[in-house]
Amino acid sequence: MGSRPTIADLAREAGVSVATVDRVLNARHRVREETARRVYEAAHRIGYHAASVIKQRLQAELPEMRLGFILQKERQSFYRAFAAEIEEAVRLAPGIRGRAMIEFATTQSASETAGLIEELGGRVQAVGATAINHHAITEAVHHLKSRGVPTFALLNDFAQGVRENYIGLNNLKVGRIAAWMISKAARRAGKVAIFVGGHRWHGHELRETGFRTYFREYAPQFEVLDTLINLETRQLTHEATLDLLDRHPDLQGFYVAGGGMEGAISAVREVREPEELAIVVNEITPESRAGLLDRYVTLVNATPLRRLCGDLVALMVNAVENGMAESPGQRFLPADIYVPESV
Q: What is the pLDDT of residue 36?
A: 83
- Candidates 149, 113, 107; CA nearest to 133 is 113
- Chain segment 60-80, per-residue pLDDT in tens: 667 899 999 999 999 999 999
DSSP 32-81: -HHHHHHHHHHHHHHT-TTHHHHHHHHHHTSPEEEEEEEEE-TTSHHHHH
- Candidates 62, 64, 18, 58; CA nearest to 41 is 58
Q: What is the pLDDT of residue 132?
A: 95
The two beta strands, 336-338 and 299-302, are: antiparallel
Cα dihedral 203, 129, 117, 230 in deg (nearest 10): 40
- Amino acid 257 reads A
CA distance 69 to 98: 13
**Long-range contacts, stretch 240-247, CB < 8 angstroms, 24+ apart:** 240/195, 241/267, 241/268, 242/267, 242/270, 242/271, 244/193, 245/271, 245/272
**Is 233 in a helix, a strand, or coil?**
coil
**Angle at which helices 51-60 and 33-46 cross, to 10°:** 160
Confidence of residue 29 (pLDDT cuts 50, 70, 90): low
Residue 92: partners with Cβ closer than 8 Å, 6 or more residues away:
310
Cα dihedral 54, 55, 61, 66 in deg (nearest 10): 180
Q: What is the pLDDT of residue 1?
A: 44
Q: What is the pLDDT of residue 56?
A: 74
Which helix H or strand E contains 195, and what residues bound it?
strand 191-196
Report the chain's terminal Cα–Cα distance, integer Å. Answer: 36
Q: How many CB atoms lie within 10 A of CB 124?
A: 20
Cβ atoms 194, 224 nearer than 8 A: yes
Using the predicted structure, report yes or no on whether residue 333 has a pLDDT greater than 60.
yes
Q: Identify any residues that bridge with 282 across adjacent strands, giving them in sequence order.
A: 301
Phi-psi region of 31 (alpha: psi -120 to 50; beta: other; left: phi over 0): beta
- Candidates 192, 301, 196, 210; CA nearest to 254 is 192
Which helix H or strand E contains 242, and what residues bound it?
helix 234-247
Cβ atoms 253, 224 nearer than 8 A: no
Q: What is the pLDDT of residue 33?
A: 76
**Angle at which helices 261-271 and 234-247 cross, to 10°:** 40
CA distance 118 to 318: 21
Residue 84: partners with Cβ closer than 8 Å, 6 or more residues away:
none
- Candidates 201, 120, 115, 109; CA nearest to 157 is 201
Using the predicted structure, report yes or no on whether residue 28 has a pLDDT greater than 70.
no
pTM of the model: 0.84
Structural domains present in the chain: 7-60 (1.10.260), 65-169+304-334 (3.40.50.2300), 171-302 (3.40.50.2300)
Q: What is the pLDDT of residue 53?
A: 79
Cβ atoms 48, 10 nearer than 8 A: yes
Q: What is the mean pLDDT of residues 247-259?
A: 97
Cβ atoms 115, 58 nearer than 8 A: no
Confidence of residue 4 (pLDDT cuts 50, 70, 90): confident
